[in-house]
């Protein structure tokens, strides 16, 4: 429990308050994936995901602070933060949004592209806006908005989105991810999506009728709550059990490096089912 409390206290010190009262009041909780002993990605992966996520997260913090948003980081250094703690930090703020930064990994080196995940319906506009700009601004394929029950998305009570900013197991995307210019580009596009999330069309009909650029299209999504992309089923976000099983609280019980491992066993049987799209 001590680490839990300590981390919450640390998080409080990372709050950057808005410079003026006229600035946006929504708190943005930025969650840099993985950290500490949890490198992220898959075994043997050359580029550590935890380093890339923190870099983009810190750049996003700067972008959002410049916009005037109060920003909270679930981690701001190379430290391990349990998923339950990340969720607790996010849920401790009202009128807040939660943005998780990740990079993808797959055994198939050719797998590439940008994905954005959400779970609750209240999170779809935020996912749509972020994905619209990140995928639109990236020189890599658009893998779409996806709905999936990642722990950090299911357990958060505020709009929550997880962005997979490309595959570090793909040579081209790994090179991009390691360039500061591209990291900055990712941060700026995510920030733009956050800033313009309220412009997302509320329905696909409104989206079709929108005749100007003031509306961000509501993105169709792939429902992965009962379907797994074969590229990703066994490759990423593996459970890290050895160093993180000392706690028994709900906050620390599920220590997969990401949110999904607890669902893997129940969905593996269904992985050959076709993707379902909505909207
Ligand atoms: Zn990850």
Assigned architecture for domain 2-278: 3-Layer(aba) Sandwich (3.40)
Three-class SS state of 118: strand
CA 94 to centroid of ligand 1, rounded, Å? 26
pLDDT at 10 over 60: no
Distances (CA, A) of 235 to 30, 51, 111, 127, 147: 24, 19, 11, 23, 18
CA atoms within 13 A on the CB side of 173: 25
CA 184 to centroid of ligand 1, rounded, Å? 19
CA 66 to centroid of ligand 1, rounded, Å? 26
pLDDT in tens, 156-186: 999 999 999 999 999 999 999 999 999 999 9
CA 272 to centroid of ligand 1, rounded, Å? 23
- Phi/psi at 161 (nearest 5 deg)? -140, 145
Higher-confidence residue of 210 and 255: namely: 210
Q: What is the predicted pLDDT for the residue at 233?
A: 57
Q: Is 47 left (phi over 0), alpha (psi -120 to 50) or beta?
A: beta
First to last CA, the chain: 43
CA 219 to centroid of ligand 1, rounded, Å? 22
CA 67 to centroid of ligand 1, rounded, Å? 27
CA 258 to centroid of ligand 1, rounded, Å? 6
CA 162 to centroid of ligand 1, rounded, Å? 9
CA 233 to centroid of ligand 1, rounded, Å? 13
Contact between 208 and 78 (Cβ < 8 Å): no
Q: Token pair of 132, please? A: 């619209």
pLDDT in tens, 185-233: 999 999 999 999 988 876 554 444 554 556 888 888 888 887 777 777 5
Could you count the other beta carbons within 10 Å of the beta carbon of residue 273? 11
| Per-position DSSP letters for 17-66, written without gaps between them | --SSTTS---EEEEEE--BTTB--SSTT-SS-HHHHHHHHHHHHHHHHHH
Q: What is the mean pLDDT of the chain?
A: 79
- Phi/psi at 133 (nearest 5 deg)? -85, -40
pLDDT at 250 over 70: no
pLDDT in tens, 102-145: 999 999 999 999 999 999 999 999 999 999 999 998 899 999 99
CA 50 to centroid of ligand 1, rounded, Å? 8
CA 43 to centroid of ligand 1, rounded, Å? 13
pLDDT at 148 over 80: yes
CA 48 to centroid of ligand 1, rounded, Å? 10
pTM, two decimals, is: 0.75
CA distance 250 to 234: 25
CA 139 to centroid of ligand 1, rounded, Å? 21
Q: Which residue carries 């996806």 as its tokens?
A: 146
Q: What is the predicted pLDDT for the residue at 4?
A: 41
CA 273 to centroid of ligand 1, rounded, Å? 24
Contact between 69 and 28 (Cβ < 8 Å): yes
Q: Do you know the residue count of the chain?
A: 279
Q: What is the predicted pLDDT for the residue at 19?
A: 33
pLDDT at 278 over 50: no
pLDDT at 279 over 60: no
Q: What is the predicted pLDDT for the residue at 114?
A: 97
CA 267 to centroid of ligand 1, rounded, Å? 19
């Amino acid at each position: 429990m001590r680490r839990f409390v300590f981390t919450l206290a640390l998080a409080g010190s990372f709050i950057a308050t808005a410079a003026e009262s006229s600035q946006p009041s929504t708190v943005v909780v930025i969650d840099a994936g993985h950290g500490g002993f949890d490198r992220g990605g898959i075994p043997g992966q050359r580029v550590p995901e935890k380093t890339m996520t923190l870099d983009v997260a810190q750049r996003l913090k700067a972008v959002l602070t410049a916009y005037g948003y109060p920003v909270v980081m679930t981690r701001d250094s190379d430290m391990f933060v349990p998923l339950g703690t990340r969720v607790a930090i996010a849920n401790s703020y009202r009128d807040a949004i939660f943005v998780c930064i990740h990079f993808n990994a797959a055994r198939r080196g050719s797998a590439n592209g940008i994905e954005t995940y959400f779970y609750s319906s209240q999170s779809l506009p935020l996912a749509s806006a972020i994905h619209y700009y990140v995928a639109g601004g990236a020189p890599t394929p658009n893998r779409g908005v996806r709905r999936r029950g990642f722990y950090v998305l299911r357990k958060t009570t505020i709009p929550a989105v997880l962005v997979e900013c490309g595959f570090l197991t793909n040579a081209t995307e790994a090179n991009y991810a390691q360039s500061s210019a591209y990291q900055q580009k990712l941060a700026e596009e995510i920030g733009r999506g956050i800033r313009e999330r309220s412009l997302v069309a509320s329905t696909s009909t409104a989206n079709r009728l929108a005749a100007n650029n003031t509306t961000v299209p509501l993105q169709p999504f792939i429902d992965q709550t009962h379907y797994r992309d074969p590229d990703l089923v066994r490759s990423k976000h593996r459970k890290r059990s050895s160093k993180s099983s000392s706690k028994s609280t709900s906050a620390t019980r599920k220590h997969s490096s990401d949110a999904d491992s607890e669902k893997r066993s129940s969905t593996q049987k269904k992985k050959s089912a076709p993707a379902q799209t909505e909207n």
